[in-house]
A and B are shown apart, each in its own frame.
Chain A
Amino acid sequence: MATYIKIAGIGVRVGGEAMPHRDMLYEAVREAYHEAGVTRHDIDTAVTVSSDLAEGRSLANQYTLDSIGGVMRPFDLRLANESLHALAAGALELHAGKGRRAVVAGVLRSSDMEDLRAGMTDLVGSRLHLHYERAVADSFPGDLEIAMAQMMQREGGGPATTVAAPHIDVAVALVLEAGDSADGVILSGIGWHDRSGWQLSHYERSVAAAAAAARRWAGNPLTPSWVEVPAYPPVLVEASLRALGLSRSPVEVNPSRLDGQAQGNHMLEGLLWTASSVKRLRGLQAGTVAMVQSWQGPGTASTAVALLLKS
């Protein structure tokens, strides 16, 4: 069983106006493999994340295998949750002895949604309970997205705002490497918590539980130097800090966004911010800790927290 999970390589492809999903993902994965100094033959397992609705076809994950170099390789595990969940699944496989290296990757092209607001409303609406919640949604004033923002506002979340983020086209890949010695940036702990939910209180409970689980995994109450948290809608920043117990802490908030990264509530936030935090941690002294918290998006109270340690 592996003692440490090191993040050995990262690859990010932001923007892709004239590039299909498969090419964006291929470029990100190739960059991550190159940085880790490996080829596809050195990878033992893989987890990919995608959204059928956002991509516009069912089983969107099935097309990722070619892009990550997975053809006739033993790593055909595919996951459809938010992206830090995929990171957790990759880490579990390595801890279980599935192999030495895993790739965790995902791709999203929200620009494919011609009308992002309508697309987001469709996406959020499709998460409603088929029998119970959709009937209620019909009585929402205006579109669902605005109704959600109003709901958050009623719970003390500041001015009503839309929850749809700007367009973002992005592919992210991380190479995880299991080993017995801690060097570089390691995934020290990861925790997650899942449920559907509409209220800010659901969100906060979920974040607090995910953070507690991440600390248990780490076996150490690590104090982060900075946190990366969801920022759309802005009310979530304060909610996250409260739930993480960092409201009164001097911790930096969202400092490590890579150039060109739009903020948004999309399923790849977690991997994207993990990649940017790893990049930043590499230049800092040993013992520095970063915390990344993600959210599956509107209509869910599904969150995850990763603790990254420079060793």
Chain B
Amino acid sequence: MAVRVGVLSTGMQKFESKKQATLDEMIFDVMQKALSEADLSIADVGGVVFGSAVDGFVGTEAPELQAANALGREGIPSLRVSTSGSTAISTPNLGYHWVASGKADVVMVVCFDQMSPCGSPQAVFNTVYDESYIRPIGLNVPIQCGMEARLFLHHYGHTEMQMAKVSVKNHANALDNPYAQVGMRLSTDDVMASPYISWPVKRLDTSPTSDGARAILFAREEIVRERKTSPVWVKGVGQAGDSAWFMGRTNSNLGRLDYAYEAARQAYEMAGVKDPSREIQVAEIYDPFTYKEMQHCEAMGLCEEGGAGRMIDDGISERGGRLPVNPSGGLLGEGNPIGAGMSRLCWLYLQLAGEAGPCQVPNQPRLGVSCGWGGMYQYSAVMVLGRDD
């Protein structure tokens, strides 16, 4: 029987397009905030899991070793996870397993990325493609996203206007988020008039590049109960991936994220969730592009397959809606330092703990889901958090 694992605290900082801090300083900042909030010192931490998406952003091979130097205590064992965007959840998944294994009582998870030093994050992203088969055809992230979004809209009958509504919602939500990079009041006309990056994805359908870090502390049940009157527990985890060679997948509909459905299925099974559209009360899900939030709403079972357009049209996913999605602003509004997309999980914890401040959703939620997405448009990691039943 695995050890029960809860969340003790988070460490947050403002995301910025170019942060005036070194990687070490960013990490030290969020780590100290998480420790301070939990009333712990670094001596109490039994292990650290670092997550960052791509070494090329930071410009350093094995940046986790510099990060380890920033902890202020030599000798803490650490592990590093790197799964591109899904680092956001696959890293805390490993932190959860570390505590659940009984091999450490308290584990800190620190996710970070500093995209500004590389000058051109898209140039770094271009290096993820296979040098023999993919790079020669000129595929890059915007083009691939455009292809995927077109298929998604076409297959399910969703529209660019519905994508624009997601942008309006998340950018407005970010206005209440003190750590957000691009909170703003937009109209759907603004979004629709913004230039195409790769049809149907427009500039305002896209999250910005960012620098920033997040920390979260996991601990075994006894420690969590000592410090928290309304503990938030890790209820379920899941992860799955499809082939990196997208032209060879068995599912030819690239608009349907089979692997995300599978990762969600695992996490819900572990959490005992039978009908997520009724049981999940708040979601902080991966939205580097507007259509990605819609895809993830469907894959996480927050609505039926093909129901994401209706969710945004009917206001279900608004902060005051029946099932709020990204009430903190998501990556679109808060910023997107890829690995530090773990911010979605941090905000989910804050919502369930009732500590989300101006971003708090009404009717104190007790169960929520977060997810990350990454790689060659191929893998997903999911975590379900919840309070005691």
Measured CB to CB, the residues of A under 8 A from B are 1, 51-53, 56-59, 61-63, 65-66, 70-81, 85, 88-89, 91-93, 95-98, 123, 126-131, 191-196, 205, 209, 213, 217, 296, 299-300, 302
Closest 9 pairs (CB-CB, A-B): A95-B101, A96-B100, A76-B241, A126-B61, A196-B65, A62-B375, A96-B101, A97-B2, A96-B97
A300→B63 CA distance, assembly (Å) = 11
Contact of A1 with B66 in the complex, beta carbons under 8 Å? no
Contact of B239 with A63 in the complex, beta carbons under 8 Å? no
A81→B79 CA distance, assembly (Å) = 7
Chain B interface main SS type: mixed
Please list 12 pairs of residues, one from A and one from B, whose beta carbons are closer than 8 Å in the complex, sorted by A's number.
A56-B131, A57-B131, A62-B84, A62-B244, A71-B241, A81-B80, A92-B94, A93-B101, A126-B61, A129-B66, A194-B64, A194-B68
A66→B82 CA distance, assembly (Å) = 17
Neighbouring B residues of A62 by C-beta, 8 Å: 83-84, 128, 244, 374-376, 378-379
Given contacts A52-B54, A129-B66, contact A71 B97 (CB under 8 A): no
Binary contact readout B113-126 vs A (1 if CB under 8 angstroms, 0 otherwise): 00001000000110
A234→B91 CA distance, assembly (Å) = 36
In B41-93, the 8 Å CB interface with A consists of: 53-56, 58-62, 64-66, 68-69, 74-84, 90, 93
Contact of A79 with B56 in the complex, beta carbons under 8 Å? no
Neighbouring A residues of B77 by C-beta, 8 Å: 88, 191-194, 213
Binary contact readout B345-389 vs A (1 if CB under 8 angstroms, 0 otherwise): 000000000000000000000000000001110110100000000
At the interface, yes or no: B240 with Cβ under 8 Å from chain A? yes
Neighbouring A residues of B244 by C-beta, 8 Å: 62-63, 65-66
The closest CB in chain A to the CB of B22 belongs to: A131
B182 CB → nearest A CB, Å: 25
Q: Number of residue pairs across A and B with beta carbons under 8 Å?
A: 186
Contact of A57 with B127 in the complex, beta carbons under 8 Å? yes
A126→B81 CA distance, assembly (Å) = 19
> Which of B58, B103, B242 contacts A72, CB < 8 Å?
B242
A79→B91 CA distance, assembly (Å) = 9
A123→B61 CA distance, assembly (Å) = 7
Neighbouring A residues of B130 by C-beta, 8 Å: 57, 63
The closest CB in chain B to the CB of A76 belongs to: B241
In B255-310, the 8 Å CB interface with A consists of: 258-259, 262-263, 266
The closest CB in chain A to the CB of B61 belongs to: A126
B179 CB → nearest A CB, Å: 24
A201 CB → nearest B CB, Å: 12
A299→B60 CA distance, assembly (Å) = 11
Contact of B375 with A59 in the complex, beta carbons under 8 Å? yes
A253 CB → nearest B CB, Å: 25
Contact of A79 with B2 in the complex, beta carbons under 8 Å? no
> Which of A63, A77, A95 contacts B102, CB < 8 Å?
A95
Contact of A127 with B60 in the complex, beta carbons under 8 Å? yes
At the interface, yes or no: B23 with Cβ under 8 Å from chain A? yes
Neighbouring B residues of A91 by C-beta, 8 Å: 101
At the interface, yes or no: B15 with Cβ under 8 Å from chain A? no
A260 CB → nearest B CB, Å: 27
Contact of B69 with A58 in the complex, beta carbons under 8 Å? no
A299→B75 CA distance, assembly (Å) = 17
Neighbouring B residues of A63 by C-beta, 8 Å: 130, 244, 376
